[in-house]
Amino acid sequence: MFDHTNNSYGVNEVLMSSAMGGIVFGLFAGAPLCIVGVTGPISIFNYTVYELIVPRGIPYFQFMCWICLWSMLLHFTIALTNLVSYMRYITKFSCDVFGFFINIVYIQKGIQILVHQFSLGDPSDSTASGFASITLALVMALFGCFAYFFGDKTLYLKPRIRTIFRDYGTPLCVIFFTGFIHFGGQLSNVSFATLPVGTAFHPTSSGRPKDWFIRFWEGVTVADVFLALPFGVLLTALFYYDHNISSLMCQSSKYPLKKPSSFHYDFLLLGITTGIAGMLGIPAPNGLIPQAPLHTESLCVIKHDYSTGNDRIARVVEQRLSNTFQGILTLCLMTKPLLHVLGLIPQAVLAGLFWIMSITAIDHLDVTQRLRFLCTDPDSLKLTHFPANFYKADRKWFMIYLLFELIAFAFEFGITCTKGAIGFPGVLIFFMGVAMLFPRIFPKDQLRLLDEPAADELILKSLRVHERSKKTIE
């Protein structure tokens, strides 16, 4: 967003948004496992609005504020009328395709960061910096992924030691490779671009008021206010899908959760943070993928079954502290000393971080597993390598279902690479509708093997409350 919005959004805005999301949802959300922050889709939405609106002479932050205010009202309407209940129709098809898309976007953003290194400063210096940045990002991604998969996939050392590699390998890679560029030698001849930071607790843009508050009534006409309404509808559609999918994924049926969900209330809370974000001139936060499911994953108590050689999730530590404290710590990063430390991080390290997060998350996704299953030598397949349903499903319907997943991903990713990226939420909702037609396309016995509800029965019951209450009234 920093590059695409002419420095309108910077590190401080992202930190402020992430801190607000973490603290508010950690303290007040009904289901505090969902990590909330600045996502890839909202970044795409924000800079696409910038590209469409600024050439018309409309002040950007005032217009974005009206978008968020309209969206806040729509969030309230959806939550108070229990329209989030329709999320019960979401199956793992939508979750897996969206998760796959988000992780590919992270890979793309990492590549874009590295490509940008070749256009910074003097051409001769930028070439060396560009190739050195690529090398740094690749080596960091290699070590980060190795640490994660060593802890997650191998049987070396005791399970508790492997957990340290899996959970702390990535942050340690960020610390080590940030210092790596100062090791001297030939590295001293290369200038690595670092994360651009501003003044502590101040907006990045010099044209903004220092108190953060957006005077949303200044510089806009009544026509501009109503022009923001369709954008607000698109933003609401994006959050309806993105945030609730994130919530479903971090409360997936594979996690033995005991506490019930609260989708309607949490969506109302998201509307409040969206309105506040608009008035503060920061990106609106919502559920993060892959961070939300990774958060639940990190809270799982794993038991190793020595008889089968497999790990199983015994329980999940359901609490509010981790989400709240990560929000507080994010806010602390806006202080002058820590903001200076953030400014020391090479942009290449951020690219490597994006790749580590995406590669480690994408490995567990259904789309990846299906592709891997098809490409594996049939004579080498073992029952423990893939879900049992993969073996039971008819190969023809298995491939058709996978084709639907890849087509949905291609449309979602393709539109974000065009000027039509603002319509991205519409594509998400469209393929959510396509998935609802699967019972008419696939035989029932095959669909049962290929797809299933994204949430477990406890969560589905909470989403059916509105339906049951209506029948009672009638």
288 vs 311: which has the higher pLDDT: 288
Distance CA 294, CA 361 (A): 8
| Residue 236: per-residue pLDDT | 94
| Residue 328: per-residue pLDDT | 94
Q: What is the Cβ-side half-sphere exposure of residue 238, based on CA atoms within 13 angstroms?
A: 31
Q: How do residues 351-380 score in pLDDT, each as one tens digit?
A: 999 999 999 989 888 899 999 998 888 777
| Residue 427: per-residue pLDDT | 87
Q: How do residues 422-449 score in pLDDT, each as one tens digit?
A: 787 888 889 888 988 999 999 999 999 9
Q: Is 299 a residue whose pLDDT tops 50?
A: yes
Q: How do residues 29-80 score in pLDDT, each as one tens digit?
A: 988 888 899 988 888 889 889 888 988 888 999 999 999 999 999 999 999 9
136 vs 305: which has the higher pLDDT: 136
Structure confidence at residue 124 as a pLDDT band (50, 70, 90): low
| Residue 384: per-residue pLDDT | 63
96-105, 287-296, 394-403, 437-446, range with the lowest pLDDT: 287-296
86 vs 181: which has the higher pLDDT: 181
Residue 58 CA from chain centroid, whole number: 30
Q: Is 83 a residue whose pLDDT tops 80?
A: yes
| Residue 470: per-residue pLDDT | 47
| Residue 263: per-residue pLDDT | 85
Q: Is 110 a residue whose pLDDT tops 70?
A: yes
83-92, 204-213, 231-240, 295-304, range with the lowest pLDDT: 204-213
Chain mean pLDDT for the chain: 86
Q: Is 278 a residue whose pLDDT tops 90?
A: yes
Nearest one of 347, 390, 417, 400 to 104, comparing CA atoms: 417
Q: How do residues 170-225 score in pLDDT, each as one tens digit?
A: 999 999 999 998 888 888 888 888 888 888 888 887 777 677 888 888 888 999 99
Structure confidence at residue 456 as a pLDDT band (50, 70, 90): low
Q: Is 24 a residue whose pLDDT tops 90?
A: yes
Do 40 and 109 contact (CB within 8 A), yes or no? Answer: yes
pTM: 0.83
Q: Is 466 a residue whose pLDDT tops 70?
A: no
Distance CA 136, CA 290 (A): 23
